[in-house]
């Protein structure tokens, strides 16, 4: 055995001892075999944490909030006749949403020019507060745990109102809190914290991503002036009280 493989084997043993063994009970007891409400197949759900946020379908990677969102979309929309924007290039909802008449998937990176098409997967860089899409050009916008991280969320709702057709809907998930509160804001190009900083896990950043907002059942009171009508359409469900919101542009 050479020095490199010995090193990796030692690392692997250490990782198993430190991370897997202490959590083995939870990983095993959290397993579920059931029909996934997103991909609609019988599947194994694996748990990697303490709540349903980290319990995922082995086939499509959906967790509870994605399952709720998939269920709402399937129950209420026939994608074939709709123009759709999904603000996530890799979500488990793509299998359903990509059946749309048109389907745009977008990604977000600060510093990238809005409208840039990424070569690796064809997704488009979009900033939800200044979309590059024309007025009244979409029937559905889908975002999943995005809006709580947008400092100027009023601008995001103004933009979604602008690009939706009358009768169009922005279907979104955000963590469900007791009330709507701004937790942080951007001032003089820096972050000003109003509440204790709260970070959510982010696949792109090991430090996590800051929550600028909490959203509660009073969402309509705070952002109804955008012209959108907000309705809680799924949940709360599970330990984390997962919900789905539909923000609809009136006909």
The minimum distance between CB 120 and Zn ion, in angstroms, equals 24
Strands (E), the chain: 32-35, 42-47, 55-57, 83-86, 102-107, 124-125, 138-144, 164-173, 181-182, 184-187, 190-193, 199-202, 205-210, 213-214, 229-237, 242-248
The minimum distance between CB 39 and Zn ion, in angstroms, equals 3
Options 56, 57, 146, 210; binder of Zn ion; rule CB under 5 A: 57
The minimum distance between CB 71 and Zn ion, in angstroms, equals 11
In the region spanning residues 209 to 238, those forming contacts with Zn ion, defined by CB under 5 A, are: none
Which residues, 6+ apart, have CB-to-CB distance to 160 below 8 Å? 128, 131, 141, 170, 226, 228, 247
* Cα distance between residue 159 and residue 80, in whole Å: 24
Give me the residue label for tokens 């929550």: 211
Q: Does 37 bind Zn ion (CB under 5 A)?
A: no
Q: Does 68 bind Zn ion (CB under 5 A)?
A: no
C-beta of residue 171 within 8 angstroms of C-beta of residue 245: yes
**Residue with smaller CB distance to Zn ion, 47 or 169:** 47
C-beta of residue 242 within 8 angstroms of C-beta of residue 68: yes
* Cα distance between residue 249 and residue 231, in whole Å: 12
Q: Does 36 bind Zn ion (CB under 5 A)?
A: yes
Options 30, 39, 146, 184; binder of Zn ion; rule CB under 5 A: 39
- Region near Zn ion per CB under 5 A, out of 16-24, 34-42, 70-78, 134-142: 34-42
Number of residues that bind Zn ion (CB under 5 A): 7
Q: Does 247 bind Zn ion (CB under 5 A)?
A: no
- Region near Zn ion per CB under 5 A, out of 33-41, 107-115, 141-149, 187-195: 33-41
Q: Does 38 bind Zn ion (CB under 5 A)?
A: yes
Residues that bind Zn ion (CB under 5 A): 36, 38-39, 57, 59-60, 62
């Amino acid at each position: 055995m050479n020095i490199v493989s010995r090193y990796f084997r030692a690392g692997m043993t250490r990782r198993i001892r430190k991370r897997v063994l202490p959590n083995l009970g939870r990983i095993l007891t959290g397993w579920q075999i059931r029909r996934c409400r997103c991909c609609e197949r019988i599947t194994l759900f694996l748990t990697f944490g303490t709540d349903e946020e980290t319990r995922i379908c082995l086939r499509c990677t959906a967790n509870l909030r994605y399952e709720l969102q998939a269920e709402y979309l399937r129950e209420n929309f026939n994608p074939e006749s709709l123009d759709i924007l999904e603000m996530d290039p890799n979500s488990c909802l793509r299998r359903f949403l990509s059946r749309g008449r048109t389907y745009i998937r977008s990604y977000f990176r600060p510093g990238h020019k809005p409208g840039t098409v990424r070569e690796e997967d064809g997704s488009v860089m979009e900033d939800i507060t200044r979309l590059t899409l024309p007025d009244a050009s979409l029937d559905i916008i889908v975002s999943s745990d995005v809006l709580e991280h947008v400092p100027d969320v009023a601008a995001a709702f103004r933009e979604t109102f602008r690009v939706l057709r009358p009768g169009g809907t922005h279907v979104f998930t955000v963590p469900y809190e007791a009330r709507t509160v701004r937790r942080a804001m951007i001032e003089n190009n820096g972050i000003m914290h109003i509440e204790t900083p709260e970070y959510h896990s982010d696949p792109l950043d090991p430090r996590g991503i800051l929550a600028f907002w909490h959203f509660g059942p009073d969402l309509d009171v705070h952002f109804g002036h955008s012209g959108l009508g907000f309705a809680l359409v799924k949940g709360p469900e599970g330990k984390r009280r997962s919900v789905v919101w539909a923000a609809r542009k009136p006909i």
